[in-house]
Amino acid sequence: MAEPYAASTAADHTATDVAARLRAIRRRLPGQVQRERIETAQILYGPLYSLAEVRMRVAEALPRRVGFVRGAALESIETYTGPIPDEALLKWDDAVQSGLFSRFMVATPTYYSERQVDPWIIGEVDGTDRWVVITQWDV
């Protein structure tokens, strides 16, 4: 009776070793790491967007106004001077700690160049031109 249990434990241990070895191999291959980053970002933060798609989504957060053009102003989070709520800062810090992103921006909806309310923090997945929405808040 003890032998089947020992065999399954050894097989489980070998499978774990193989999985760990495969992860180590993938980390040495930039293309594999990028694919893993993309998949992880999608799982944690939702769909990936091009920067143009992000701008469009941010602009669509504003109601339509006759004669006004909706847009989005982008600014590096490091230079953003508006208030950022504590909850948004914590979500941003979690994203930084994940190591998935190369840079972060604050996207603010605009009518023409006049900034409105409800900024978003977006992050660019490292090694790609794809962005995710980290968080958004009401001002």
AA letter at 68: F
Q: Mean pLDDT, consecutive 10-residue segments, the chain of 139 residues?
A: 55 79 85 88 97 95 90 96 96 97 96 86 96 91
Question: What is the spatial distance between Cα 38 and Cα 127, in angstroms, rounded to a whole number?
Answer: 9
pLDDT for res 133:
97
- Kindly state the tokens that stand for 8: 């399954």
8 A C-beta contact, residue 107 and residue 119: yes
- Kindly state the tokens that stand for 40: 């992880």
Nearest one of 106, 133, 110 to 60, comparing CA atoms: 110
Q: Is 67 exposed, middle or buried (0-12, 13-18, 19+ CB in 10 A)?
A: exposed
pLDDT for res 115:
81
- Kindly state the tokens that stand for 94: 């979690």
pLDDT for res 12:
66
8 A C-beta contact, residue 125 and residue 131: yes
Q: Tell me the DSSP string of 6-26.
A: HHHHHHHHHHHHHHHHHHHHH
- Kindly state the tokens that stand for 5: 């249990």
| Length of the chain, in residues | 139
